[in-house]
Amino acid sequence: MGRRVLALDLGTTRVGVAVSDATATLASPLATVAAGDRARLASLVEEEGASLVLVGLPRNMDGSLGPAARAARAEAAALADSLPVPVLLVDERLTTVSADRALREQGRRGRARRRLVDQAAAAVLLQGWLDGADGAWWRSANTPKPPPGK
């Protein structure tokens, strides 16, 4: 089984997708797909040889779950039922803000920035996960780290 990881930044209109390299060390923006297009996401999992999918969980700044987080949980559950790989929810607070700032610093403006911000946010989410303890666990064990208490 490979170590590639796919990350999704869910939106109401678009889903940003990022993918890791084969060593699960570096994240790169991949694509933007229409929200709800699970068939396209399944195709990307297969095309990229991903063995894990991360779904951004948009918690409020105080850690609570609002309507967007509940929708993300529901979509993650639906994806888990339809994809042949594990699906994990990952805190995505401020990923879009970070991605937008980085694109502005690169000189991206207007439509060009809006076209890329979702996949850039997915890359920020993925790189943060890869750089953390769960990413290290993934590289060593090649299995999702169990949630605390399991």
Residue ranges per structural domain of the chain: 5-140
The answer, yes or no, to whether residue 145 has pLDDT greater than 80, is no
The answer, yes or no, to whether residue 149 has pLDDT greater than 50, is no
Instruction: Please name the fold of domain 5-140.
Output: Nucleotidyltransferase; domain 5 (3.30.420)
What tokens does 146 get? Answer: 């169990």
Say which range, 25-29, 65-69, 131-135, has the weakest mean pLDDT: 65-69
Query: Taking all residues of the chain, what is their mean pLDDT, rounded to a whole number?
Result: 83
Say which range, 30-34, 111-115, 134-138, has the weakest mean pLDDT: 111-115
> 1: buried, middle or exposed (CB in 10 Å: 19+, 13-18, 0-12)?
exposed
The answer, yes or no, to whether residue 8 has pLDDT greater than 60, is yes
Buried b or exposed e, range 66-78, using 16+ CB within 10 angstroms: eebbeebeebbee
Tell me the three state secondary structure of residue 138: helix
d(CA 90, CA 59): 10
Q: Give me the mean pLDDT over the 63-86 stretch.
A: 89
> 8: buried, middle or exposed (CB in 10 Å: 19+, 13-18, 0-12)?
buried
**In this structure, are strands 14-20 and 27-34 parallel, antiparallel, or unpaired?**
antiparallel
The answer, yes or no, to whether residue 2 has pLDDT greater than 70, is no
pLDDT of residue 19: 98
Say which range, 32-46, 74-88, 95-109, 120-134, has the weakest mean pLDDT: 95-109
Q: Is-above-0.85 flag for pTM?
A: no
d(CA 128, CA 145): 15
Closest CA to 82 of 24, 144, 47, 37: 37
Q: Where are the extended beta strands (E) located within 4-48?
A: 5-10, 14-20, 27-34
Q: Using pLDDT thresholds of 50, 70 and 90, give the confidence band for residue 141.
A: confident
